[in-house]
Amino acid sequence: MRVRKRYIALFFYFLVLVVPIYWMLNMSLRSNADILGTFSLYPSHLTFKNYIKVFTDPTWYSGYINAIIYVTLNTLMSLAFALPAAYAFSRYKFLGDGQMFFWLLTNRMAPPAVFLLPYFQLYSTVNLIDTHIAVALAHCLFNVPLAVWILEGFMSGIPKEIDETAFIDGYSFPRFFFTLFIPLIRAGVGVTAFFCFMFSWVELLFARTLTVTEAKPIVATMTRTISATGLDWGLLAANGILTIVPGALVIWFVRNHLAKGFALGRV
Amino acid sequence: MEKWADNKAWFLVLPVFVVVAFSAIIPLMTVVNYSVQDIFGPGNAVFVGTEWFEQMLTDHRLHDALWRQFLFSGLVLLIEIPLGILIALAMPKKGWGVSASLVTLAIPLLIPWNVIGTIWIIFTRPDIGLFGVGINSLDLLEVPFDHTARPSYAWVTLMAMEVWHWTPLVALLCYAGLRAIPEAYYQAAKIDGASAWAVFRYIQLPKMRGVLTIAVLLRWMDSFLIYAEPFALTGGGPGNSTTFLSIYLVKLATGQFDLGPAAAFSLIYFLIVLLFSFIFYQALLNVGKGEKAS
């Protein structure tokens, strides 16, 4: 009986979790006139017009392409930089290792608003404003530290004897690292990639500041539409739903490692 | 695990150092530079020393934003931590329900932050939102619900959004902590005839100490830095009632182009965060040690 009550409470919580998203889905499947005209709990005049508009109008769909480009770039960069560094932190004691590890954390915790203005100036100076690489590089500020922390957590779970045996067997460091060690922590690499992808995908402030038109991501396009007059709720909702899709597609694969990722590799 | 002592490991860390330094140290130095100068235009700046810092430390709007921020972060913790623990305790321990619960919990965490704001605008608007229309049709409120109408409504909406968005993170972390408790502990408690409360107080809560520390600090830090969600939902209004530190800072820097004061404020903001980061770091290190020892 107790167990049953517990699950009913949990069910209601999950309902609360899903209802706002359902509501947006509902809006996305109705025309704007319908939304403003009648209040309805489900799309009574079902239409895919909003989605068709997103997929055919370049001002909308280019936002997704831009976001995917810089997010992918950022994920690859973060992993490439973080893998060797995480290995160093998990295996070696060196001068200033603790301080360095802490410094990385402070960047993960830095308020993006603080860096906004100098970022705009810095990237203007090196002529990178409105390019994908600018946003990818800016997102490294919080994703590289995150990747180092998560990967270090996974690497510390692998006994050091494996490294020692490989070196005795005559493996060079790069050969050991790429052919033996990375396959051992591939789950960790996958989880790290997921988190880098996610935090880059959900970020708004840098992405909006560093892009104008050529590399403008969908999240920025959406905020600019909000401030414009004559708001199309259906279209906005359709875009909202589409931005959830990438995360929803891959969440299943990392479900058991989510806590570890959010705890910066410390659980 | 005993580590090898070798300073050559720096070569492995160097790429990270360079890329993060490019993104962190150069901009930070620029901010420091701004904070001690009055800038009229390109190549036309006057050194003003600590004037901006003094101005910022006595700025009433900044103080208001800071207190608002502390109140917001405090409320966030008070609601999200107990709620997250309850959810983690209620979650199934085996079977298909585990994966289903984990995935459902994770969904809000994967949504772009300004889309979170959009979801809640659509959900709470008095003309089209399920919540807005629903609560107004009950006719309980003196002034019809509209998050732009009254500061209290804006706060309720923001808190609901924040709790909706981030409680799953607390629940996920607590659940991971609970799963690490060996079955033998529960069996021993059963033999002793321990009550559910005793099991929670003497077995589950101590074992969750590590993950709870992480959850509290992460929620504290992230809510302290909040920008995109209130920006999308309320834009800091009505009035200044939801203008948090980041929103105030961005208004100052890009809206009014007060570079000097904005930079001075940034540094103060950064120092506050740095202090909390240090506490966070110490806690994280001890969490790692504690789990390995047990």
Residue A172, classified by CB atoms within 10 Å of its CB into exposed (0-12), middle (13-18) or buried (19+), is: exposed
Query: What does the mean pLDDT of chain B come to?
Result: 85
Q: Which one-letter amino acid corresponds to residue B181? A: I
* DSSP string across B99-166: HHHHHHHHGGGGS-HHHHHHHHHHHH-TTT-HHHHHHHHTT--SSPP-TTT-HHHHHHHHHHHHHHHH
Encoded tokens for B282 = 């110490």
pLDDT reported for residue B1: 64
CATH class given for the domain over B60-293: mainly alpha
- Contact criterion met (CB < 8 Å) for B105 and A17: yes
Q: What is the mean pLDDT of residues A222-233?
A: 67
First to last CA, chain A: 33
Asked if the model's pLDDT at residue B290 lies above 60, the reply is no
The residue extents of the domains of chain A are 1-47, 57-262
Encoded tokens for B41 = 């235009």
Among chain B residues, CA nearest to A83: B12
- Contact criterion met (CB < 8 Å) for B114 and A219: yes
The CA–CA distances, whole Å, from A192 to A143, B147, B174, B263, B294 equal 9, 38, 20, 33, 26
CATH class given for the domain over A57-262: mainly alpha
What is the rounded radius of gyration, in angstroms, for the C-alpha atoms of chain B?
Answer: 24
Chain B CB contacts of A258 under 8 Å are: 102, 106, 109, 172
pLDDT reported for residue A226: 57
Q: Are strands A92-93 and B4-5 parallel, antiparallel or unpaired?
A: parallel
Q: What is the mean pLDDT of residues B157-163?
A: 92
Asked if the model's pLDDT at residue B40 lies above 80, the reply is no
Confidence at A29, pLDDT banded by 50, 70, 90 = very high
Chain A CB contacts of B175 under 8 Å are: 259
B199 touches chain A (CB under 8 A): no
Encoded tokens for A99 = 């301080």
Residue of B122, B136, B162 best to disrupt the A interface, most CBs of A under 10 A: B122
Percent of chain B with pLDDT over 70: 95
- Contact criterion met (CB < 8 Å) for B225 and A111: yes
Calculate how close chain B gets to A177, using CA atoms only, in Å. 12
pLDDT, tens only, A37-48 = 888 888 888 889
Is residue A187 left, alpha or beta, with left meaning phi > 0 and alpha meaning psi from -120 to 50? alpha
Asked if the model's pLDDT at residue B180 lies above 60, the reply is yes
Q: What is the mean pLDDT of residues B137-152?
A: 81
* Residue B39: strand, helix, or coil: strand
pLDDT, tens only, A97-120 = 888 888 888 888 777 777 787 888
Q: What is the mean pLDDT of residues B272-293?
A: 71
The residue extents of the domains of chain B are 60-293
Among chain A residues, CA nearest to B108: A17
Cβ count within 10 A of residue B208 = 23
Q: What is the mean pLDDT of residues A231-239?
A: 86
Calculate how close chain B gets to A152, using CA atoms only, in Å. 12
Residue B232, classified by CB atoms within 10 Å of its CB into exposed (0-12), middle (13-18) or buried (19+), is: buried
Contact status, residue A257 vs residue A248, Cβ threshold 8 Å: no
Chain A CB contacts of B284 under 8 Å are: 105, 264, 266
Which stretch, A139-148, A247-256, B124-133, has highest mean pLDDT?
A: A139-148
Asked if the model's pLDDT at residue B142 lies above 80, the reply is no
Q: What is the mean pLDDT of residues A189-217?
A: 89
Angle value at C-alpha A228, between A227 and A231, nearest 5 degrees: 100
Residue B94, classified by CB atoms within 10 Å of its CB into exposed (0-12), middle (13-18) or buried (19+), is: exposed
pLDDT reported for residue A2: 61
Looking up tokens 């962190």 gives B24
Residue B181, classified by CB atoms within 10 Å of its CB into exposed (0-12), middle (13-18) or buried (19+), is: middle
pLDDT, tens only, B75-102 = 999 999 999 999 999 998 888 888 889 9
Separation of alpha carbons B51 and B44, rounded Å = 18
Asked if the model's pLDDT at residue B289 lies above 80, the reply is no
Separation of alpha carbons A184 and A194, rounded Å = 18
Which of A130-134, A172-176, B199-203, B277-281 comes out lowest in average pLDDT? B277-281
